[in-house]
Amino acid sequence: MKKLFSIVVSLLLVVCLVVPASAETTGYVFDDANVLESEDIAELNQRLSLISSSYNFETYFITGNEQDGKEIKDHLNAACDTYKLGKDDTTKTIILYLSISDDDYMIRTINQEDKVFTNAGLTYIINKIGEEFSAKNYYAVAWKYANMCDGFLDYAQREGTPYEEDTLPEYSAFFMPCVGNQIPHKRILPYFIDEADLVGSYSESELNQKLEKLSKEYQCDIAIVTVDSLGSRTPVEYADDYFDYNGFGYDTTQDGVALIIGMENRDWHITTTGAAIHTFTDYGITYIGDQFVSYLSDGQYADGFNEFADQCASFLSYEDSTGKVYDTNNKVKTPASLEDILKDIGIALIIGLIIGLVLVSRLKAQLKSVRFQPDANNYLRPGSMVLTNQQDLFLYTNVTKTARQSESSGGGSSTHSSSSGSSHGGGGGHF
């Protein structure tokens, strides 16, 4: 009996050694490096499971933290052996493996005879997740990877051909799920995305840092996105969807404001969510637009984006300090410009000149001894006219009433629902 017990214990120890205790051993996410939260794993499993079943293409995400001096491909081989991935000749599979200890990552495909993921496509995916990997934002790495797998598989299914180097779009083509409508529970992109290349890399870095600082200070995501084309979406649809499906919105309150620039038709649109819908009223959005659009029209994009950020900070700061928001009944008070001051001085001089001319004309008229008489009183003999009877007769009265204007409560914010069902405010135009 004791011998049997010893054998059972030995077998259990072997199992514990073979399967990492920290690994997520079910589904499509295996976080052996423990870099994801439980909510991250559950959400990513749901996303990858739907992609895998929809396209009949198994899509996995694995993290490892081995420190044995071996190469990353050896670590990936060991993970495939542990989780029995790619062990048959028919199951199409793609795996993204992150080696946290080696600060490296690689993608492997198995049994994809139709080459849905070409070499150019795999290189594209590797490059697009590089920034998030360097920032150690592994949740964002996994989510962008899932989005691109979804987009690649959908394109191949619809077009009958995979993405090649000359047909690969910008990442913005993949932010919207092709299957399902799952939204990430946290932000997966930087605060400043310049796909249209409107500013230099230095300005891009500075703007991202500025927007991140303001977002944390006011606990409201402030983002700017530039793209070459909005595709088939309207500016409203694109702005709302980009905001929602990239996880923008501060913390659990989902407060946020974002400016979207579409260069194809020179569109600009501001979208708001959460408490920012109240902060940035319809009047406020129009006012902010008036402040930065002239910069965009002149090609001074960095200045325009900085102006947008400063105006957002000003509106949020005003609400924090006063408890009020800028609206039609509480407009932004701006100091008069030099041009306005000179204009006022000119108007005052003109009015003064007119008044002076009138006074001089009256004084000049008084110097005449003979002038036109409007009545005949000067030609009557005093006391020659006597009234024998007089009376006053009341004929009628005329009363005009004007309604007293009550104090306006302001225009507020118009709202609508996005494709995800989230409530948004906003407004925009062209430049």
Q: Which residues, at least 6 apart from 288, have a Cβ–Cβ distance to it below 8 Å?
A: 270, 280, 308, 311, 312, 315
- pLDDT, one tens digit per residue, over 279-292 is 999 999 999 999 99
Secondary-structure percent of the chain, ordered helix, strand, coil, rounded to 5: 45, 15, 40
Q: What is the CATH number of domain 20-174?
A: 3.10.310.50
Q: What tokens were used for 178?
A: 């092709």
Q: How crowded is residue 387: how many other Cβ atoms within 10 Å of its Cβ?
A: 5
Rounded-to-integer distance, Cα 326 and Cα 330, Å: 5
At the topology level of CATH, where does 192-331+414-430 sit?
Diaminopimelate Epimerase; Chain A, domain 1 (3.10.310)
Rounded-to-integer distance, Cα 31 and Cα 308, Å: 40
Does residue 102 contact residue 84 with C-beta atoms inside 8 Å? no
pLDDT recorded at residue 392: 59
Strand partners of residue 109: 94
Host H or E run for residue 257: strand 256-262
- Among candidate residues 403, 157, 426, 408, the one with its CA nearest the CA of residue 270: 426
Does residue 241 contact residue 232 with C-beta atoms inside 8 Å? no
Q: What tokens were used for 82?
A: 């542990």
Mean pLDDT of the chain: 87
**Side-chain half-sphere CA neighbours of 266 within 13 A:** 10
Residue 388 scores a pLDDT above 90: no
Task: Please tell me the least confidently modeled range out of 161-175, 259-273, 400-414.
Answer: 400-414
Residue 408 scores a pLDDT above 70: no
Residue 393 scores a pLDDT above 70: no
Domains of the chain, by residue range, sit at 20-174, 192-331+414-430
- pLDDT, one tens digit per residue, over 62-103 is 999 988 889 999 999 999 999 999 888 889 999 999 999 999
